[in-house]
Amino acid sequence: MDTRYAYITGRVRALEVRLLDKLKMERMVAATSVKASFSELEETDYGSYVSQLKDINNFEELLHDELRRLYFFIDKWSLNRELTDLFRMRYDFHNLKVFLKNKFKEKPLPLEKLPFVNLGTVDPKEIEKAEELLETQKKTTEAFEKSKNPQDIDIILDKEYYKLCLGKARESEDKFVINLFRREIDLINIKTFFRCRALKRDKVFFSKVFLEGGCLTKKLFLEFYEKEENAFLRKLSFTPYAKVIMGYEKEGLKGLELSCDNFLLEYIKKTKLVTAGLEVLIAYLIAKENEIKLLRSVLTGKISEIPAQMIRERMRETFI
């Protein structure tokens, strides 16, 4: 127990109960029209922001603003910014990918037309000069100049991001965060394993995209890469990821992604038993991000007139 977080833990507990629950999400999915879905959303904490929305098609702005408020809240109360900033840094890495891909393109676009996300720790337009990313940028540039393959930019930056996350988590010796990132890495590797096979990529490619640092070793994945799927599934069913595998067996890649997200949520739900500590704040951050992800799914689906059943099939669990 970290008593320094006693006050904020209490505050987070009060905020947690205001998170959208499964029932609310279901009501939004079952709504007969987009307008009805937004009316459901208006009854929640998002209400005042929904009413300010001029065009419902721009609901992404609303979600961005909510994320901005969330990160502001976390930054304000976190006593270990090194760790909590890692969650925002995924946007820095995204912005760096965008910047580098644009830089190496034959006809680069002006910066204002690029799909930057203004939620990271660095201003997207200044991403090139960000000191903490200079080394990563250099490494990525060198790799790209060697291969001329833009996919390498994504691969290297994704690997660097998780390396940084795990490194910082280990430095802080926070077991919750270390395990969180290790689990996340394992889940990404499992998903990548099946996706690479579905895309008919070879072992060398999988080896290249594999993220180091998880509990499951590269050797294990490579051993089963060219073997029958069932052998690998059997092997994983004796690991903590048995539940995840069930999702794949049931509904393929779609089910796997769903069960991976639910698995991580299950992990952070354990913090409900923590009296006080940074993990409560981080769990709230992930729960809120998950809620925003769910809202994006539902609202995009409703606006594009995707059948309710198809939206429901992809609905992740909620924190409460």
Partner 1 sequence: MRLSVSPTRMELLRLKKRILLAQRGHRLLKDKQDELIKQFMPLVKEVINLRKEVEEGLKKAFQSLVIARMLMPLEFVEESLMWPGERITLEVSYRYIVGVKVPEYEIKKEEDIHNYGLVTTSSELDVALKAYSDLLPSLVKLASLEKTMELLAAEIERTRRRVNALEYIFIPNLEETIKYITMKLSEMERADLTRLMRIKEIIRAH
Q: What residue ranges bind partner 1 (CB under 8 A)?
A: 60, 90, 94, 97-98, 101-102, 105, 115-117, 149-151, 154-155, 157-158, 162, 188, 191-192, 194-196, 198-199, 209, 211, 253-254, 256-257, 293, 296-297, 300-301, 304, 306, 310-311, 314
Tokens (6 digits) for 160: 């660097």
Decide whether 196 or 245 has the Cβ nearer to partner 1.
196
Decide whether 228 or 307 has the Cβ nearer to partner 1.
307
Decide whether 83 or 153 has the Cβ nearer to partner 1.
153
In the complex, the smallest distance separating the C-beta of residue 226 from partner 1, rounded to whole angstroms, is 19
Decide whether 90 or 125 has the Cβ nearer to partner 1.
90
In the complex, the smallest distance separating the C-beta of residue 256 from partner 1, rounded to whole angstroms, is 8
What residues contact 74, with CB distance under 8 A and at least 6 apart?
A: 84, 87, 281, 284, 285
Decide whether 205 or 267 has the Cβ nearer to partner 1.
205
In the complex, the smallest distance separating the C-beta of residue 137 from partner 1, rounded to whole angstroms, is 16
Q: What CA–CA distance (Å, rounded) separates 198 from 253?
A: 9
Decide whether 170 or 314 has the Cβ nearer to partner 1.
314
Q: What CA–CA distance (Å, rounded) separates 3 from 289?
A: 25
In the complex, the smallest distance separating the C-beta of residue 236 from partner 1, rounded to whole angstroms, is 17
- Going by C-alpha positions, the residue among 11, 12, 16 that lies closest to residue 290 is 16
Query: Do residues 89 and 120 touch, judged by C-beta distance below 8 A?
Result: yes
Residue 110, Ramachandran bin (φ over 0: left; ψ between -120 and 50: alpha; else beta): beta
In the complex, the smallest distance separating the C-beta of residue 273 from partner 1, rounded to whole angstroms, is 30
Coil, strand or helix at 316: coil
Decide whether 90 or 139 has the Cβ nearer to partner 1.
90
Coil, strand or helix at 123: coil
Residues in the chain: 320
The string of DSSP codes covering 140-164 is: HHHHHHHH--HHHHHHHHHHHHHHH
Tokens (6 digits) for 39: 């009316």
In the complex, the smallest distance separating the C-beta of residue 119 from partner 1, rounded to whole angstroms, is 10
CA-based max dimension of the chain: 55
In the complex, the smallest distance separating the C-beta of residue 260 from partner 1, rounded to whole angstroms, is 11
